[in-house]
Structure 1
Amino acid sequence: MTPRHDENTVFMTEQEAERIRNTVKIRLQRCSELAGHARETRDSKDAIRQATGASLMADMGAADPDSAQTKTQRGTLPVIAVGQPYPPCMLPLRDLQPMKLSNLRMDTHHRGRRLAVKRASPVVTLVARSWTMVFDEEEGGEIERLEVCLHKTRHGQDILESASVFVIKEPYFTLTDQGEATLRIDHPSDLVVCQDETANDILASLNEAKDDVDGVTAAAEKFARACKDHGNAALEKQNLPLAHAKYTEGLKVARQNIVSKSNPDLARDLSRNRAHVNLLLNQLDEAKADAKASLTGRQDQRSRELDSKAYFRAGCAAYNLGAYQEAKAFFEEQRKLTPGNEAASAYLRKIETRLHEQENGAFNFQKIRAGLSRSRPRADAASFVGGTEVRESRLPGRGRGRGLFATRDVAAGEVVLCEKAFCVVWGHEMEALTAMTYDVRDGGIRASPVGLTRSVVQKLLGNPSQVKRVMDLYGDYQGGGNDNVPTKMRPAEEEGPVVVDVFRVHGIVSRNAFGPGGDENGVGSSSSASAGLWVRAAYANHSCVPNAEKEYAGDLLVLRATQPIAAGDEILHAYHDGSSGDYSARRRALMTTWGFECDCALCAAEAADDPAVLKRRKELAEEADAFVGREHWAGAKRVAVARAKRLARDIEGTYDGERYEGLPRLAARTILEWLALAGQRR
């Protein structure tokens, strides 16, 4: 057995760390000095020339000149300052007062205001942000920089490139890391993308129509049908965002009473088509709502076929949300309408398997693993969490809040919990991205899976029903922007997307995400490590002497008991792989990554050791690791086995027998495993 090394570890010199700290501190100091000062006017030609040149350089793969970065052995990572969160705007546009570019003040959140701008230059698309120059048409060409940080895409399309006109809610005007003035967007919902105003013009005509009602209604129907046709054409070309936008425009008009009375099937057709697009975009809440809205309830053959299609789409959405009983009801309705439909029957068979997994924890792991590959790393399986509950932790002196407890007796080796990830980003996928984060609150520099943070935000934006359970997890920043977020889809006529506080998501991911492991699934490197968020498992607290351990089958996390667990016991597992035998290193890792000091029985015993003993134990453990890396256990000669036994005895001798009674000797684990394997060959 070879010693394990973390391939995703990022090593940084103290000089590099200090450079990062200084870059952020200088920016913060400059922001503090300029706070409230009036904005300085830009030269429009120079600004557009600057953006055009930067866009060309970015397209050629050049580094971001206006954002801090750091170099590692495996590439360049962006550096992101955290610890200065602010809530997203919770007000609709109609409740915000308009402002102009000339009204901007430095390092200021302009609460209660909105700013309409138009893109004036190419978009500079970089790894962790995108920016462009925008102008205010009402002010004769006043121009300013606008950047979207981290959460800069929607459905794979850059937000700033998706349109030319935007409205910024409660604009935040500040500085970049290099001192460049900019309008900064962190929360996606703070930037409203303005699409074609034709739909709104039609709606206004409908509301104002008095004399020629029939003519206006006919024009509205014509517009909605054209939107449907444009959406269908975009769907055929796999331009899903455009298809969704066109169907949505058509629905705004087709759902108006005067139009729906004239042609009720028009809104149903648009809803049915948008349900399909929403499934492809993983917007499952809206897909289900659209499919249900498209039902006719009529019994003629054509209507039965259309309703069958709608039930299928609603069933797929419910299945992918893990709502298997609801999905079962939808597919059963589909099969009633089209008894020979094999797709419905196939889903119903799968649902029976999922329900069995969900209720009994009976998983065919061999079959699940056999179906996994680099191109299909996500398991088709249910979550089994019924034997657990979340309540206040009873661990002494930790202040950890909630923990995960068993509600049934669990034998050693038995599955305690099996959970599908809420979200996983694999290292080989385009969404994967690791960044160095400098936390201004404690000066800590950490490698953070910001690609996972982005993906969690995207999933929440598309599935508002999931917001509450994710936001209920612990994070360093509680925020104030999500208390009023709906837990169901907003009606289609309401303005804008669901509001998601990205700073809360970052804090939650930082304290709850794990690397799923498994090189066959493309774990990645330090710049693009795999990471996932499992909501239920996130409540399980850490111990260096755990009673459960993690294993993975794709994105399926399995907590398996390592010793008998009685009903009512708290479920504990080691947050770091293998529980390092180096007490100091383990202590630093837990504080750096997870933000706490472990005070389990093992850590308490090691804390009482003399520093000289800890040093000697570390030296022996390193010697043992070097030995294991050099001498393979298969066919090991007697002299090698004797050497291994001496190392094991020497390491064992650093542990006080009385204080460590019943506790593992982690420093000796590697060499003992080697001896066990070598012994099997004799």
Structure 2
Amino acid sequence: MTALAVGCPYPPCTVPTRDLQPIRHSELRMDTHHRGRVLTLRRIAPVVKLTARSWTVTQESSSGGTERLEVILHRSNHGQDILESESMFMVKEPYYTLSDQGDPTLRIDHPSDLVVCTGSLGNDISCPSSGEPGGAVAATAFAAPVTNTAKECKDEGNAALKQRALPRALAKYTNGLQLVAKDTAANGSIACDLHRNRAYVNLLLNRLDEAKADGTASLTGIKDQEHQDLDAKAYFRTGHAAYNLGDFQEAKSLFEEQQRLAPSDRDAIAYLRKTEVRLHEQATGEYDFRKIRAGLSKTAPRADAASFDRNTEVKKSPGRGHGLFATRDMDVGEIVLCEKAFCVVWGHEDEALTVMTYDVRDDMIRGFPAGLCKAIVQKVLNNPSQIEKVMDLYGDYQGIGKHLIMRDSGPVIDTFKVHDIVARNAFGPGPVYSGGPRAEEDVRNASTGLWIRASYLNHSCVSNSKKEYVGDLMVLRAARPIGAGEEITHSYNESGDYDARTAALKTTWGFACTCALCLAEKADGTALRTKRRALELEADAWAEVEHAAKAKRISIVKARCLARSINDTYEDVRYNGLPRTALLRIRKWLTEATTRDLAGC
């Protein structure tokens, strides 16, 4: 497994490129964050792509000095390695240090600290600081002037789209819109076409915020049939983006507009019906789980469903930050919460990646779902509207806070904060999808996801809720009656072994549990817990071999003796009202076994 050292976070640059002062290669100092500075570089060597990083050799444009440039973990965008995407880069507040192999390197941990000068592999270069002091002057030294017209950009973008070269298509449509903005005599229909086409590309790239904006900008409002057909297409793309963002009420309005302009359009009819189902789920918590499960497969493991959270609210939990609380009384088995994952990476997907991390803050080695962390960073980079709800979750490192910061036409993402949020809030969605085992999944590529609302659930070994998964839809049900205003809890680790459970909670989640069960088991002492654990393992082994449905009388007697021996390790007063977890499996076996009127052993 890949290993990474963590725990030495630093904030990303929050200064626009135009306000940074240029720095030269000769001014770089080891183990230094050069605050307030920017370095312009050209890639002069092939990119070396490793599991959790990429690096290349670059050259400063003015002095010709060469330096290694390394991007850690967040090295790709839309499936393309960032260092391979272009040849010109601007490094904001460069961090000069040693690589893991001991080589001097410019290290990039935050994607927003590396500004890609688009078009530097072709004829048309664009840097955010063009025309400003500093690196932009050097950047233009490697570029030819822009000569395209908006119409040419549209045609080239269409050709790239036909070839599924989505990043290039996006760049061409964007270039065309930039040209239209500079040319007051440009045809307005070209701008609408570019926005409409770019909306489609943004949908394919899951840039949903931009897809909505482009779809709206492409509307003509002209009443003839040709333009109404084009506007219907724009409404569909905008509605599709809103639907995928979970904004179902907005999506419904947009699909209704599409249907008004194109009454016979089957896509409009189908999506309007789907959206009405999502709104019903969102309002009532009523789901057709059978239908949802039937729609899942290895290639489509994400449920088409809405989140239902009306039975819960987020409030402060004394001594534990925030928690999730019931807004009404709920009976056993009743749905407390249904939530679609904000982001999930399944073990069979290429994005799945688990790494070992050594955290210098607490001297602990942990397994970490790096693939999920990468996917979340990519999602919020593409959809800035989603940033604040993710960054509001608990993490050990506060960084630049939770509020959206836009610089150089993109959001600033503190990847160290995302790392700690994932480490403290991610869940594994279980060992099955659509009813079938994932044989290819192991510790190196475990499925992991982030559920925003469920992240506010605090832990208790004696929890009042249980979760299950339907694809990436988490279904939380009441494990016992829950009263209005009561905090909802679930177990982060369900091991019946106190020592294993407390070690796992400390290692994975970073806290020591002080619930009533843990306090009782701690008071038992090591010797008694060891005896109980040995009896539990013996009982579990027995239940594994003996089939309850075919149990003979002597087997039932043996099982009752084992259960009694385990129960004798629990002190009645101390465990009054608490679960006796070591008894769970053997008692289940006895319940399933043939019932007979037997005397004790």
**TM-score, reference length from structure 2:** 0.93
**Which SS does the other structure have where 2:62 is aligned?**
helix
Query: Relative to 1, partners in 2 of residues 1:200 and 1:82: Cα closer, same or farther, differing over 3 Å?
Result: closer
Q: CA deviation at 1:435?
A: 0.5
The answer to whether the Cα contact below 8 Å between 2:211 and 2:237 also exists between their aligned partners in 1 is yes
Q: C-alpha separation between the residues in 2 aligned to 1:569 and 1:437? A: 37
Q: Percent identity, please.
A: 59
Q: C-alpha separation between the residues in 2 aligned to 1:135 and 1:531? A: 39
Name the structure 2 match of 1:636. Answer: 551
Aligned-partner residue type, residue 431 of structure 1: E
Q: Does 1:454 find its partner at 2:380?
A: no
The answer to whether the Cα contact below 8 Å between 1:361 and 1:384 also exists between their aligned partners in 2 is yes
Q: C-alpha separation between the residues in 1 aligned to 2:220 and 2:577? A: 68
Name the structure 1 match of 2:159. Answer: 233
Name the structure 1 match of 2:90. Answer: 167
Name the structure 2 match of 1:614. Answer: 529
Query: Relative to 1, partners in 2 of residues 1:627 and 1:557: Cα closer, same or farther, differing over 3 Å?
Result: same
Aligned-partner residue type, residue 515 of structure 1: G
The answer to whether the Cα contact below 8 Å between 2:550 and 2:594 also exists between their aligned partners in 1 is no
Q: C-alpha separation between the residues in 1 aligned to 2:358 and 2:552? A: 50
Aligned-partner residue type, residue 575 of structure 2: Y
The answer to whether the Cα contact below 8 Å between 2:391 and 2:401 also exists between their aligned partners in 1 is no
Q: How does 1:115-126 map to 2 (within 5 A)?
A: 115-126=39-50
Aligned-partner residue type, residue 480 of structure 1: I
Name the structure 2 match of 1:420. Answer: 340
Deviations 1:396-425 (A, max 9, x none): xxx310000011111111000000000000
Q: CA deviation at 1:220?
A: 8.9
Q: C-alpha separation between the residues in 2 aligned to 1:180 and 1:272? A: 47
Match of 2:539 among 609, 621, 624: 624
Q: CA deviation at 1:350?
A: 0.7
Q: C-alpha separation between the residues in 2 aligned to 1:363 and 1:136? A: 58
Match of 2:6 among 68, 74, 82: 82
Aligned-partner residue type, residue 506 of structure 1: H
Q: How does 1:99-114 map to 2 (within 5 A)?
A: 99-114=23-38
The answer to whether the Cα contact below 8 Å between 1:89 and 1:481 also exists between their aligned partners in 2 is no
**Which SS does the other structure have where 1:262 is aligned?**
coil
The answer to whether the Cα contact below 8 Å between 2:18 and 2:129 also exists between their aligned partners in 1 is no
Q: CA deviation at 1:518?
A: 3.6
Name the structure 2 match of 1:96. Answer: 20
Query: Relative to 1, partners in 2 of residues 1:482 and 1:114: Cα closer, same or farther, differing over 3 Å?
Result: farther
Name the structure 2 match of 1:356. Answer: 280
The answer to whether the Cα contact below 8 Å between 1:434 and 1:527 also exists between their aligned partners in 2 is yes
Q: C-alpha separation between the residues in 2 aligned to 1:333 and 1:477? A: 45
Query: Relative to 1, partners in 2 of residues 1:97 and 1:405: Cα closer, same or farther, differing over 3 Å?
Result: same
The answer to whether the Cα contact below 8 Å between 1:199 and 1:250 also exists between their aligned partners in 2 is no
Name the structure 1 match of 2:476. Answer: 559
Query: Relative to 1, partners in 2 of residues 1:582 and 1:484: Cα closer, same or farther, differing over 3 Å?
Result: same
Q: How does 1:158-557 map to 2 (within 5 A)?
A: 158-196=81-119, 223-256=149-182, 258-259=183-184, 261-394=185-318, 399-480=319-400, 482-485=402-405, 495-520=408-433, 522=438, 524-557=441-474
Aligned-partner residue type, residue 180 of structure 1: D
Deviations 1:306-328 (A, max 9, x none): 10000000000000011011001
Aligned-partner residue type, residue 174 of structure 1: T
Deviations 1:363-419 (A, max 9, x none): 11111111111111000000000111000114xxxx310000011111111000000
Q: C-alpha separation between the residues in 1 aligned to 2:363 and 2:473? A: 35
Name the structure 2 match of 1:666. Answer: 581
Q: CA deviation at 1:178?
A: 2.5
| Greater alpha carbon shift after TM alignment, 79-88 vs 475-484 | 475-484
Q: CA deviation at 1:611?
A: 2.2
- Runs of 5+ consecutive residues of structure 2 not aligned to the other structure: 132-144
Q: C-alpha separation between the residues in 2 aligned to 1:656 and 1:119? A: 70
Query: Relative to 1, partners in 2 of residues 1:177 and 1:634: Cα closer, same or farther, differing over 3 Å?
Result: farther
| Displaced runs of 4 or more, over 6 A | 200-206
Aligned-partner residue type, residue 119 of structure 2: D
| Greater alpha carbon shift after TM alignment, 643-652 vs 447-456 | 643-652
Q: C-alpha separation between the residues in 1 aligned to 2:108 and 2:266? A: 47
Q: C-alpha separation between the residues in 1 aligned to 2:512 and 2:245? A: 36
The answer to whether the Cα contact below 8 Å between 2:40 and 2:88 also exists between their aligned partners in 1 is yes
| Greater alpha carbon shift after TM alignment, 458-467 vs 100-109 | 100-109
Q: CA deviation at 1:203?
A: 13
Q: Does 1:149 find its partner at 2:92?
A: no
The answer to whether the Cα contact below 8 Å between 1:199 and 1:252 also exists between their aligned partners in 2 is no
Q: C-alpha separation between the residues in 1 aligned to 2:586 and 2:450? A: 33
Q: CA deviation at 1:427?
A: 0.1
Aligned-partner residue type, residue 230 of structure 1: E
Aligned-partner residue type, residue 401 of structure 1: G
**Which SS does the other structure have where 1:410 is aligned?**
coil
* Equivalent residues, number: 578
Aligned-partner residue type, residue 495 of structure 1: D
Query: Relative to 1, partners in 2 of residues 1:614 and 1:587: Cα closer, same or farther, differing over 3 Å?
Result: same
Q: How does 1:41-52 map to 2 (within 5 A)?
A: none
Q: CA deviation at 1:677?
A: 2.4
Q: CA deviation at 1:543?
A: 0.5
The answer to whether the Cα contact below 8 Å between 2:540 and 2:586 also exists between their aligned partners in 1 is yes
| Greater alpha carbon shift after TM alignment, 131-140 vs 189-198 | 189-198
Q: C-alpha separation between the residues in 2 aligned to 1:624 and 1:205? A: 73
Aligned-partner residue type, residue 238 of structure 2: A
**Which SS does the other structure have where 1:144 is aligned?**
strand
The answer to whether the Cα contact below 8 Å between 1:203 and 1:253 also exists between their aligned partners in 2 is no
Q: Does 1:571 find its partner at 2:571?
A: no
Q: C-alpha separation between the residues in 2 aligned to 1:303 and 1:199? A: 32
Aligned-partner residue type, residue 640 of structure 1: S
**Which SS does the other structure have where 1:383 is aligned?**
coil
Q: C-alpha separation between the residues in 2 aligned to 1:365 and 1:616? A: 43
Name the structure 2 match of 1:60. Answer: none
Q: CA deviation at 1:221?
A: 9.8
Query: Relative to 1, partners in 2 of residues 1:534 and 1:307: Cα closer, same or farther, differing over 3 Å?
Result: same
The answer to whether the Cα contact below 8 Å between 2:549 and 2:594 also exists between their aligned partners in 1 is no
Q: CA deviation at 1:201?
A: 8.3
Aligned-partner residue type, residue 500 of structure 1: I
Name the structure 2 match of 1:72. Answer: none
Q: C-alpha separation between the residues in 2 aligned to 1:668 and 1:247? A: 65
Aligned-partner residue type, residue 131 of structure 1: W
Match of 1:678 among 576, 583, 593: 593
Q: C-alpha separation between the residues in 1 aligned to 2:481 and 2:176? A: 59
Q: C-alpha separation between the residues in 2 aligned to 1:633 and 1:416? A: 33
Q: C-alpha separation between the residues in 2 aligned to 1:614 and 1:641? A: 25
Aligned-partner residue type, residue 43 of structure 2: R
Q: C-alpha separation between the residues in 2 aligned to 1:362 and 1:532? A: 23
Match of 2:496 among 569, 581, 587: 581
The answer to whether the Cα contact below 8 Å between 1:247 and 1:274 also exists between their aligned partners in 2 is yes
Q: CA deviation at 1:641?
A: 2.7
Q: C-alpha separation between the residues in 2 aligned to 1:204 and 1:471? A: 28
The answer to whether the Cα contact below 8 Å between 2:176 and 2:194 also exists between their aligned partners in 1 is yes
Q: C-alpha separation between the residues in 2 aligned to 1:178 and 1:616? A: 48
Q: C-alpha separation between the residues in 2 aligned to 1:104 and 1:179? A: 17
- Runs of 5+ consecutive residues of structure 1 not aligned to the other structure: 1-76, 207-218, 487-493
Q: CA deviation at 1:640?
A: 2.9
